[in-house]
Amino acid sequence: MNSRRSFIRKAAALGTTPILSSFINLSEPRLQEIRQEALKKSPEELAADEDFWAQIKQSYTVSPQIINLNNGGVSPSSKPVQESLERLNHYANECPSYYMWGIMDQGREPLRENIAQYAGVSPEEIAFNRNTTEALDTIILGMPLEKGDEVIVCEYDYPNMLNAWQQREMRDGIVLKWIDLKLPSEDKETLIKPYLEAIGPKTKVIHLTHMINYNGQILPIKEIAEAAHKKGIEVVCDGAHTFAHIDFKIPELGCDYFGTSLHKWLGAPIGSGLLWMKKEKIANVYPLLPNPEPKSDNIRKFENLGTRSFMIEQAIGEALNFQYAMGNKRKEARLRYLRNYWAENAKKLSGRISIQTPFKDDLSCALAVVGIDGYKGGEIAKTLFSKFKVHTTGRVKVDINGTRVTPHVYTSLRDLDRLLTGLDYMLKI
Ligand SMILES: Cc1ncc(COP(=O)(O)O)c(C=O)c1O
């Protein structure tokens, strides 16, 4: 009896949702308070409520010395997520094979249900893995394509995915058709047209990046996917930067395959990601890391990753709880509010400043690039950090030349004022 009680206590202390529940868990008092406060205002009203966001900041352990404006690269986890991971690590290290494979393993299916519900898809279409690279490489290297089949890509797609496509080109003789995107663009038609014009009789796949890492441009995935499907073409979507950043459900994109990193905007522990694909596609995609039934239509065939951290995986549940406490729409509205604050004020500093990201709501959100005439992107990032301890990341690609600024929910207007001071300094030296 005692050992049973102790087992239940330990299982409960594992936090998140281990074997106990398949429901989103806002039992953590801090999360309940956040939720109650958040519900008092509309997303737009809450976006400008500095007191609320100062309270959110208390849930992070961010550096007081550095102003982190590269949250697009990887997100810090909130305290509840960090604490959950610590708890899980503690138990795992009491007896790893038992706690990982005996207990935490049982948390995977409830977690799959939770995240599927959040993403608006069936749990039978979700596989957990370590990041977008692993998710999309599984698709790119696993889908059936033959010599001469064409895949449409562009230079602004993420290098890891382009490497995978180029490896298939080298090994299997598929052909990459590179389109020319003009960024930034405030006009959906100029983004859609090059993709549709590149479609030919041999086109089998269009690879699309939902939010371009170089400047934060959002692509109109749905419109391109609808046109592609009319011609029997499949669509792969790189959702590294949009999941849990902007408010959407995966099916709204109309794509066939989707990969994302949960350590970006969901704030799950570093090294967590997911792969989604339509149920009817699963049987035709070979897993990257083979299991005994590579032709199975069970999505779990993509999770044969060998020994890895089940603790990281289970702490995703706590990141979901934190996301639900704030709410998607409220988070998105705040991020956009912060982006508009710094970008509009930066533009007023001088005609030498260029914002190389569209302002329209459906074409951008937190990620934006600022350029200064006469400077290379990397130089701006370097000066902002060395003189002002403002951490951004230089971005130079085709028509983009600036530094990428990405606030997060814990970013204050004061932090952004420091960025503006830094930009002003560079204009004057
Ligand atoms: C558009 C895009 N895709 C994929 C990735 C790769 O993400 P990860 O390193 O988590 O696999 C990134 C990383 O920033 C990205 O910006």
- 247: nearest Cα among 261, 266, 234: 266
**What's the whole-number mean pLDDT along residues 363-391?**
98
pTM: 0.94
In the predicted model, what is the mean pLDDT of residues 387-406? 98
Q: Round to whole Å and give the CA distance between 324 and 115.
A: 11
Instruction: Give residue 322's identity as a one-letter amino acid code.
Output: F
Of the candidates 425, 420, 427, which has an alpha carbon nearest to the alpha carbon of residue 67? 420
Q: What is the pLDDT of residue 29?
A: 76
CA distance 326 to 117: 17
Compute the distance from residue 158 Cα to the ligand 1 centre, in Å. Answer: 7
pLDDT at 17: 40
| 110-129 average pLDDT score | 97
Distance CA 316, CA 318 (A): 5
Residue 72 CA: which ligand 1 atom is closest? 14
Contact in structure between 202 and 148 (CB atoms under 8 Å): yes
- Report in angstroms the alpha-carbon separations of 409 from 244, 328, 359: 12, 11, 19
> What percent of the chain is modeled with pLDDT above 90?
91
pLDDT of the residue at 31: 84
CB–CB of 270/141 below 8 Å?
no
Q: Whose CA is nearest to atom 16 of ligand 1?
A: 213
The answer for residues whose C-beta is within 8 angstroms of residue 95's C-beta and 6 or more apart is none
Average pLDDT over residues 220-249: 98
For residue 209, the ligand 1 atom closest to its alpha carbon is 1
Segments making up each domain of the chain, as ranges: 107-321
Which residues form ligand 1's pocket by a CB distance below 6 Å?
Answer: 131-133, 158, 160, 209, 213, 238, 240-241, 261
- CA torsion angle for 331, 333, 334, 337 (degrees, to 10)? 160
Q: Which atom in ligand 1 lies closest to the alpha carbon of residue 238?
A: 3
* Closest approach atom of ligand 1 to CA 210: 1
Tokens of 265: 């905007």
Cα distance between residue 93 and residue 213, in whole Å: 37
Give the Å distance between the CA of 345 and the centre of ligand 1.
29
Ligand 1 pocket test: pick from 157, 261, 266, 400 the residue with the most ligand atoms within 8 Å of its Cβ.
Answer: 261
User: How far apart (Å, rounded) are the C-alpha atoms in residues 252 and 265?
Assistant: 19
Name the token pair of 343: 């970008």
Beta strands in 123-191 (DSSP E): 126-129, 150-154, 175-179
Query: Is CATH 3.40.640.10 the classification given to domain 107-321?
Result: yes
pLDDT for 26 equals: 59
pLDDT tens-digit series, residues 83-115: 999 999 999 999 999 999 999 999 999 999 999
Distance (Å) from CA 51 to ligand 1 centroid: 32
Mean pLDDT of all residues in 352-358: 98
Distance of CA 37 to the CA centre of its chain: 26
Residue 18 has a pLDDT of: 38
**Per 3-state DSSP, what percentage of the chain is helix, strand, and coil (rounded to 5)?**
50, 15, 35
Give me ligand 1 centre to Cα 133, in Å. 6
Q: What is the pLDDT of residues 151-177, one digit of tens each?
A: 999 999 999 999 999 999 999 999 999
pLDDT for the residue numbered 27: 58
If you write DSSP's letter for every residue of 230-267 in order, what string do you get?
HTT-EEEEE-TTTTTTS---GGGG--SEEEEETTSTT-
State the closest ligand 1 atom to the C-alpha of 132, by its place in the atom list counted from 1.
11
In the reported structure, the alpha carbon of residue 265 is separated from the centroid of ligand 1 by a whole-number distance in angstroms of 11
Spatial CB neighbours of 111, under 8 Å, sequence gap ≥ 6: 16, 17, 128, 313, 314, 316, 317
Ligand 1 nearest atom to the CA of residue 212, by list position: 1
Token pair belonging to 69: 């404006």
Q: Is residue 21 pLDDT above 70, yes or no?
A: no
Q: Ligand 1, from 241, 260, 265, 274: best to mutate by most atoms within 8 Å of Cβ?
A: 241
- Sign for the CA dihedral angle at 289, 294, 297, 300 comes to negative
pLDDT > 50? residue 394: yes
**Residue 124: φ, ψ to 5°:** -75, 0
**Ligand 1, closest atom to CA 213?**
16
Contact yes or no for 292/135 (Cβ under 8 A): no
What are the φ/ψ torsions at residue 324 (nearest 5 degrees)?
Answer: -65, -35
- The CA 74 to ligand 1 mean position distance, Å, reads 9
Look up residue 366 and give its DSSP letter. S
Percent of the chain with pLDDT over 70: 93
Ligand 1 geometric centre to CA of 281 (Å): 23
Given this model, what pLDDT does residue 33 score? 86
